Amino acid sequence: MPKTILIAGANRGLGLEFARQYALAGENVIATCRRPAEASELRRLGVTIETLDTSTASSIEALAKKLEGESIDVLVCNAGVYGPRSEQLTDMPTEDFDLVMRTNVLGPLRLTLGFADGVARARGVMAFLSSRMGSIGTMSSASGIAYRASKAALNAVVKAASLELGKRGVRVLALHPGWVRTDMGGPQATLTPEESVAGMREVIANASALHGGFYDNTGAAIPW
């Protein structure tokens, strides 16, 4: 029986590649984006497209209500923004910092709460796209401080969710996709989206053994 895969932030980049690979594998893909009318690539894949803006509580609540009763085998939280591309500590505008934190931290927390029952019903997996830049243990630069801070905070949300939802059979992971040739990663990145997502899908498939951890696209553990 096909699994149900819910992807938050699927209109481009890694989210779109997750949708493509899971659809090709025959899974039931629910791909979300802010503007479905503009999601031509998703329409070509033949997946179910739903409206979702992870920075808005009402949007998450609306989709959770629409999918109430659905069993979700895998929730992939891909939605995120980089924010100001600072090279050092900087006194950035409050609205810039708030946008990054609201999108990268509060949004995933709300997704966790909104879809916990559906994922628990399937005893499924929640996978959150984090970044090695959010690892405090390996940090060697202050560049992109808003993004770094948001991913470190997201990792805390992931760990807390693993402790609470693990009791209900949900497996929760933070994933670093690697340096990928996307709009965010740039053209000099070392991985294609296809390579990155294929690796992360393998990690997700082994989530029972990796629950509550932070891993790269090869399954190697990353220090918090």
- Single out the residue of 8, 51, 9, 1 nearest to residue 27, CA to CA: 1
Token duo for residue 99:
């946008």
Find where tokens 């090709």 sit. 24
Token duo for residue 185:
């990663």
Q: Is 134 helix (H, G, I), strand (E, B) or coil?
A: helix
Torsion of CA 92, 94, 97, 100, to 10 degrees: -140
What does DSSP say about strands 74-77 and 4-8: parallel, antiparallel, or unpaired? parallel
Confidence of residue 189 (pLDDT cuts 50, 70, 90): confident
Sequence-distant (6+) residues with CB within 8 A of 63 are 32, 50, 51, 52, 114
For 201, other C-beta atoms within 10 Å of its C-beta total 20
* CA distances in angstroms from 24 to 11, 17, 20, 47, 204, listed in the order given: 17, 10, 6, 10, 17
Q: Is the pLDDT of residue 80 over 90?
A: no
The residues spanned by each domain of the chain are 4-216
Confidence of residue 91 (pLDDT cuts 50, 70, 90): confident
| Alpha carbon distance 180, 174 (integer Å) | 17
Q: Is the pLDDT of residue 40 over 90?
A: yes
Token duo for residue 112:
């966790």
Residue of higher predicted confidence among 187 and 222:
222
If you ran DSSP here, which 8-state letter would residue 2 be given?
P
Confidence of residue 3 (pLDDT cuts 50, 70, 90): very high
What is the rounded average pLDDT of the residues 105-133?
98
- Single out the residue of 133, 137, 128, 132 nearest to residue 223, CA to CA: 137
Token duo for residue 80:
């995120």
What does DSSP say about strands 74-77 and 48-51: parallel, antiparallel, or unpaired? unpaired
Output b/e per residue, 148-182; b: 16+ Cβ within 10 A.
bbbbbbbbebbbebbeebeeeebbbbbbbbbbbbb
pLDDT in tens, 123-156: 999 999 999 999 999 999 999 999 999 999 999 9
Output b/e per residue, 90-107; b: 16+ Cβ within 10 A.
eeeeeeebebbbbbbbbb
Indicate the fold that domain 4-216 takes in CATH: Rossmann fold (3.40.50)
